[in-house]
Structure formats: structure tokens, C-alpha cells
Amino acid sequence: LFMQGGAIGENAIVPMNLLGAKTSIDFINTGEWSKKSMKEAKRYAKVNVAASDEANGFTGIPARNTWKLDADAAYVHICSNETIGGVEYHFTPDVGAVPLVADMSSNILSRPVDVARYGLIYGGAQKNIGPAGLTIVIVRDDLLGHAMPLCPSAFNYAEQAENDSMLNTPPTYGIYIAGLVFNWIKAQGGLVAMEAHNRAKAAVLYDYLDESRFFSNPIARDARSLMNVPFKLKDANLDAEFLKGAQARGMVQLKGHRSVGGMRASIYNAMPVEGVKALVAYMKEFEVRHG
Ligand code: PMP
């Protein structure tokens, strides 16, 4: 479905459509975006935190065998890539018969995904797909038709599906650009090629972070994001100088989110490996000067 309202909108639209006769939703809390999803869902359902990495400062994905799932939950919600924290699932969790729902806003189309293992996938288009204003939802047919009576028609998945996502005027320009991006991805060799590209790119940065004694990344190796790489300088007093020098070299938006501090390199599909190499060259220079 081509929707509107962004992923924040979907945080409300998903429970409105999927709760049905159930009363609670299981959430895996891996960071800021999981928390935002839970906050919104609380308006519609009982939120059960089945697992959380908060006590570890959101540096990994809680091991699947620690999740306390409720067999009667409407669905299990995960955020497949925590954009702010830089934590990503590198596996698809098995949650049995309960549908798995994923906020894939920041890693959709970065690598192949077995869509059939999910009940629903959603995401804003503005990272790997196209312009802001378009929201993608992939939903299993049998999950359609259970919307709450108060759900607006424009946000009712069944109604949108019946109308080929044109129940109301769709964001046509965004959909057009998304089409160009889909063709571009195919021309690159599809998602298998995107994954190889993204792995090679992220490795340039993580390899340097691991050898550096000045910069560091706190995320567990098996949960490191290929899209968003947070890192810290040994001395936070040098953050401003680091950002200034980066800007002078044409590298912008490196400041980390205020909830985690430090830096964050967002290296979505569109970022070429040369961009990451330029960042690492600058970091090495900075380390020699200040390390
Ligand atoms: N979820 C994730 C994982 C995100 O990265 C973002 C945007 N940064 C959102 C939700 C919110 O998306 P939107 O701005 O499209 O509502």
C-alpha cells in the first residue's frame, strides 16, 4: 500500500487496523523508535514489553530466547533498524503464529528480506525509497478487514487495498520518484547487490572504529546497523571542532541525536563507498592531531 502520514502515523494506524478482537500487543524495545511506537500504541491497546535492551543502554538486540511473548497478543512489533541508536536486526525472529510487524523505515531495501515471514512491514519512504510524504505498507491479506470502526477511511488498510491505494489522492510525485528508485536498484543488481554494497561500505567505517583508540562504537557486533553508524570521540569537548572540520570538507549532518550524543554517520543506499572513505580519511587525520 502507498499511504501517507509517515511511520509515526503508522504507529497509530497499525494498531487501529490489526488489533481486532485482541487487547494487547507485544513490543521488543530496542531504542528511541521502539519507544515512540509503544507510546502511540498505548492509546489503542495494552502494551506488553516482551523484551528490552534499555538496561544495556540500547546496545544490542535482546536474545530471542529471552523474549516473554504472549500467545494471545494481536502482534509482535519490532523496529528492524533503530536509526538513532544504530542497532539492527540481522535475523528475522520466529514468533510463532502471532503476526510479526516491523518498522523498517531506515533499512528497507538495504538487503533482501523474506517478506512472507512478516504480517506487516511499514516505513516512511524518505531513507532508501524516495521523498518524504510517502509511506509504504506491506500487509498480509488475511490481516485486512479488522479495523476499528473509528479508523479513518484513508488509514483503513482494507479500504486502501480495495482502491489500489487511491481511496484519496495519493502522493503522486513521491510514488513516481519511488518508481525511479526501484528501477535504479534493479539496475544495480537488485537487493543482493545493495546488500553487498552496504556491507562493504559499513565495514570501512566499523573496521576503522574498532582499530581506533580515539573513536568508538558501543553496539554489539551482531547488531550493528549497516545504515546508521553512531560513534563517539574520546573527548566530547572536541565534538564541535570535529563537526566544523567535517562541514568544511562537505560532510554534513554528522551530529548524533541528542538522546545519545556523539556522532552518527547515516550511510543509506544512496551513499557511495567514496563518501565513507572520505569520512574515515578525515577521522584518521583528526585522530593524529588530537589522539
Ligand atoms: N521509525 C524509524 C525507524 C525512523 O527512522 C523514523 C524517522 N527517522 C520514523 C519511524 C518516523 O518516521 P516519519 O518521520 O516518516 O513519521
- Rounded CA gap, 201 and 278, in Å? 11
Mutate to test the pocket of ligand 1, among 10, 38, 105 (most ligand atoms within 8 A of CB): 105
The C-alpha cell 494481536 sits at 74
Q: Ligand 1: which atom is nearest the Cα of residue 5?
A: 16
Write the residue with the smallest CA distance to atom 9 of ligand 1: 7
- Residue range 85-130, pLDDT digits in tens: 999 999 999 999 999 999 999 999 999 999 999 999 999 999 999 9
The pTM assigned to this predicted structure is 0.97
Q: Tell me whether residue 94 is one of the annotated catalytic residues.
A: no
Residue 264 pairs in a beta bridge with: 230
- Rounded CA gap, 37 and 151, in Å? 18
- Residue range 167-179, pLDDT digits in tens: 999 999 999 999 9
Ligand 1 surroundings by CB, under 6 angstroms: 6-8, 33, 79, 83, 103, 105-106, 124
Exposure string for 260-278, b = 16+ CB within 10 A, e = fewer: bebbbbbbbbebeeebbee
Q: Ligand 1: which atom is nearest the Cα of residue 9?
A: 16
- Residue range 178-233, pLDDT digits in tens: 999 999 999 999 999 999 999 999 999 999 999 999 999 999 999 999 999 999 99
In this structure, the strands spanning 87-88 and 100-103 are unpaired
- Rounded CA gap, 124 and 105, in Å? 5
Pick the catalytic residue: 26, 35, 127, 201?
A: 127
The contacts found for 194-201 with CB under 8 angstroms, 24 or more apart, are 194/109, 194/110, 194/111, 194/269, 195/110, 195/111, 195/112, 197/269, 197/273, 198/110, 198/111, 198/226, 198/227, 198/267, 198/269, 199/226, 200/273, 201/226, 201/267, 201/271, 201/272, 201/273, 201/276
Write the residue with the smallest CA distance to atom 10 of ligand 1: 7
Q: Tell me whether residue 103 is one of the annotated catalytic residues.
A: yes
